[in-house]
Amino acid sequence: MPFPWYGGSWEASQVVNHMTLRLGKAHQFLVGVYTRVSLDISLTVNPGGTDPQLDVANPDGLGQQSTDAGTVPNLKWPFSLSKTKIFPGGWTRTQDVNDLPQSKDIAAAQQHLRRGALRELHWHKVAEWGFVYSGSVLISAVDADGNYQLQQLGFGDIWYFPKGVAHTIQGLEDDNEYLLTFDDGDFNAVGVTFMVDDWLAHTPKSVIAKNFGLNETVFKNLPTTDPYILNGTITNSSVSGINPQLSGNSSFVYRTLQHPSESVPGNGGTFYKIDSTNFPISKTIAATYVTLKPGGLRELHWHPNAEEWLYFHQGQGRATVFIGNANARTFDFGPGDTAVFPDNSGHYIENTSPTDDLVWIEIYKSDRVQDISLTQWLALTPADIVANTLKIDLSVAQGLKKEKQLLIAANTTSG
């Protein structure tokens, strides 16, 4: 079946290839990608009953970690398993509580827009946070006080629309893609998203005409079905209102890469924090944008204020999640995977590739990014208590680092 939004000559298989090659979303299941584990699985002869490619991509699901124990629910969902909905101007796929039941705070989506395509005019009952990772887009938004913003965004740029803010998004390059997150895991429930054309299609035309002070015939071609993402032409119009465009602390936009990253004493990568301390309008969603060097470790820690939702964009990694009472489970991650770590659960993230960076985004339903470092906690506790508890030498406890390491470079082990 051809897809007209790719020029009328693209078949379904070509759309899949485009998504794989252009955006790197589909997992590349290669034998040997996990050199740390040897699996007795043939990728050429499969007698049935298992999917060898998935097994190779998820070695820790085969009992790789002897420290895993108890029962931990599934905390991982690949976007590639979500239903991709294709529209005239692009596509979208979501991950909500129906896909990942443990993710109660956050839902998410990937959206792709062609040049000029529009994510139609709409608003939500929840807040929306977006991150551009391919191409560039134009966002347009208006709040209850008539404040507005029309802004072009590129790679690494973020927007945050508070609950109820009216908005739309337009693609500016041939292919444009972004991550969306929402501060409610049940995002796809009825009564969460409202489309302007859907609303007007279910409003008497006489009422619409009276509202705008126009003749009913003006609205004779209103869409009767929800287009969601529709083709369009890149706007060259400007906007002016009673108030000036939003800017500064009131802006809906944050340009991540124009700000300094956080200090990383462990020298294991880069760590950008985006929350209400530097993006004041973002009061219900806090985030980090992290790059971890090959073999590096996001140190053992937990978050005291929220569950952690994650989107893995590049590379290969793993994490062990400890939920208490001797329950722990290790998960493997690759591009396009999402995950959730329960509120206050202990965990780490390790880059399992010897050559490639691991890049991911962390999302919290909170106004602040907060974490408690295991090393810092122990270093700021009387050393004899730590030594007695962990059965280590007193000198080891006394030498623990008092500063959060955040991202620890590979090969930093000392005596």
Q: Which residues are catalytic?
A: 362
Query: What long-range pairs does 401-404 form, CB within 8 A, spacing at least 24?
Result: 401/265, 401/375, 401/376, 402/376, 403/265, 403/376, 404/265, 404/299, 404/371, 404/373, 404/375, 404/376
Q: Is 259 annotated as a binding residue?
A: no
Task: Go through 188-226 and write b for each residue having 16 or more CB atoms within 10 A of its CB, e for each that does not.
Answer: beeeebebebbebbeeebeebeeeeeeeeeebeeeeeee
301 is in an annotated binding site: yes
Chain CA centroid to CA 355, Å: 23
124 is in an annotated binding site: yes
Using CA of residue 365, residue 368, residue 371, residue 377, what is the dihedral sign? negative
Whole-angstrom CA distances from 411 to 268, 295, 296, 354, 379 are 10, 8, 8, 12, 21
Strand partners, 351: 317
Q: Is 313 annotated as a binding residue?
A: no
- Cβ atoms of 310 and 77 within 8 Å: the answer is no
Cβ–Cβ < 8 Å for 321, 327: no
Residue 202 labeled ligand binder: no
122 assigned to a ligand binding site: yes
Token readout for 118 is 């529009």
Which residues are annotated binding-site positions for Mn(2+)?
Answer: 122, 124, 128, 167, 301, 303, 308, 347
Which residues are annotated binding-site positions?
Answer: 122, 124, 128, 167, 301, 303, 308, 347
